[in-house]
């Protein structure tokens, strides 16, 4: 289990299946998914992604659901994960277009890195 993290504007928490509908809407957006993996994802692929994210939490870190504290809405994801088939860790994030260019990805990324680099 990974802890929840709060920043000034965000709550970073574990994903759950209750996030499927909202994350699926984000993953279906071709503009957002242009440079992510193989592009847009179906609802079933999004469900598989959440299952994979949940399994990664057993390693002590993973991708958090990013919730905006002003409206309690899931607005994307951010966190640390292993690159496929390697032992290298990357920082990843993806936010709904309505929340871009507000410094939220930077805020979530800094919190993720602080957690990942803790002693």
The domain spans of the chain are: 5-116
What are the tens digits of pLDDT across the range 61-106?
Answer: 899 999 999 999 999 999 998 887 888 989 999 999 999 999 999 9
Phi, psi dihedrals of residue 81, rounded to the nearest 5°? -155, 160
What are the tens digits of pLDDT across the range 26-45?
Answer: 999 999 999 888 889 999 99
Residue 119 has what pLDDT? 73
pTM for this predicted structure: 0.92
> Domain spanning 5-116: which CATH class is it, in words?
alpha beta
CA dihedral 99, 100, 106, 111 (to 10 degrees): 20
CB 63 within 8 A of CB 53: yes
Residue 67 has what pLDDT? 98
Residue 109 has what pLDDT? 96
Residue 4 has what pLDDT? 93
Host H or E run for residue 9: none
């Amino acid at each position: 289990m990974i802890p929840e993290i709060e920043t000034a504007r965000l709550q970073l928490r574990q994903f759950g299946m209750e996030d499927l509908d909202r994350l699926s809407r984000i993953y279906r957006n071709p503009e957002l998914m242009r440079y992510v993996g193989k592009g847009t994802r179906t609802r079933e692929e999004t469900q598989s992604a959440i299952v994979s994210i949940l399994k990664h939490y057993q390693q002590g870190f993973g991708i958090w659901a990013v919730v905006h504290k002003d409206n309690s809405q899931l607005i994307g994801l951010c966190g640390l994960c292993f690159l496929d088939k390697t032992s290298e860790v990357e920082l990843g994030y993806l936010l709904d277009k309505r929340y871009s260019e507000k410094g939220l990805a930077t805020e979530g990324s800094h919190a993720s890195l602080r957690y990942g680099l803790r002693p």
